[in-house]
Amino acid sequence: MAVALPMESNPEVMNKYLQKLGVSSKWKMVDVLGLEKDALQWVPRPVLAVLLLFPLSESYEQHRSQEEIELRSKAQEVNDVFHLRQVLSNVCGTIALVHSVANNAHTIEIEEGPLKRFLNDAKGLDAAAKGALLENSAALLDAYKDLVGGGNDETDVNEASNHFVTFIHKDGKLFELYGRKSFPIEHGATTPETFLEDAAKICREFIAREPDNIGFNVIALVSSE
């Protein structure tokens, strides 16, 4: 079983990691400095994915549990959405990046390497099996350890109290992907042109549930050209 390190909410580090995995440098992670219209205009387009770092809390866990109960009673069409369950601790950042790239593999060029091998091996697997596959993908996880040169107590605390969730656009719908959820969460219609604004709306809902918490950060996967 591979051992993982918690990932920094740092676009520069994430970009180095993605390139180490073989993701084309034509795409990069950038900070989203605000979730209102004026701030979003500064984010390069097109935007392929949005990552939200959010604080784990009792109120969030209650919301997640209730949401799952409600959605299990409904028929959700998730089509061709790539979603994997988190098995290891400390891998929510890696999972968020995998969710971002895997659901845009038709757009993003991925060179031969650990990520491409993982995605090929994951074809046809359900979310739990994909999570187990990641657990044993030492090359993919070790690439991050090699990059940052080991962990420290500060990042371990950050992982324990904060997690990443990914938003992607698929077939005209906005999906939320989180390794601790059983399935993708559909948040309604979106388009490539409105995706960032639509994802920002859901991010604001996360923040509204934790009005006294400042532990949020938003990053987007965008064109670097």
Taking only the tens place, the pLDDT of each residue in 79-131 is 689 999 998 888 889 999 999 999 999 999 999 999 999 999 999 999 999 99
Q: Which of the following is catalytic: 83, 99, 163, 169? A: 163
98 contacts 125 by C-beta, under 8 angstroms? no
Written in H, E and C, the secondary structure of the chain is CCCCCCCCCCHHHHHHHHHHCCECCCEEEEECCCCCHHHHCCCCCCEEEEEEEEECCHHHHHHHHHHHHHHHCCCCCCCCCCCCCCCCCCCHHHHHHHHHHHCCCCCCCECCCHHHHHHHHHCCCCHHHHHHHHHCCHHHHHHHHHHHCCCCHHHHHHHHHEEEEEEEEECCEEEEECCCCCCCEEEEECCCCCHHHHHHHHHHHHHHCCCCCCCCEEEEEEECC
CATH assignment of 11-223?
3.40.532.10
Q: State both tokens at 136.
A: 């044993």
Q: Which sequence spans correspond to the domains of the chain?
A: 11-223
Which stretches of the chain drop beneath a pLDDT of 70? 1-4, 56-79, 150-160
What is the model's pLDDT at position 61?
61
Phi, psi of 214 (to 5 degrees): -105, 10
pLDDT at residue 113, as a whole number: 92
Q: Which residue's entry shows tokens 């979310």?
A: 127
User: For residue 57, what pLDDT is reported?
Assistant: 55
What CA–CA distance (Å, rounded) separates 110 from 19? 9
Q: What is the pLDDT, as a whole number, of residue 88?
A: 85
What whole-number distance in Å separates Cα of residue 170 and Cα of residue 163? 23
Note the pTM of the prediction, 2 decimals. Answer: 0.89
- What is residue 76's predicted lDDT score, i.e. its pLDDT? 60
pLDDT of residue 64: 60
Alpha-carbon distance of 61 to 64, in angstroms, equals 5
Residue 218 near residue 167 (C-beta atoms within 8 A): no
Tokens 């070790």 locate to: 142
Catalytic residue among 83, 92, 99, 203: 92
Told to judge if 203 belongs to the known catalytic residues of this protein, a careful annotator would answer: no
User: Is 163 among the residues known to form the active site?
Assistant: yes
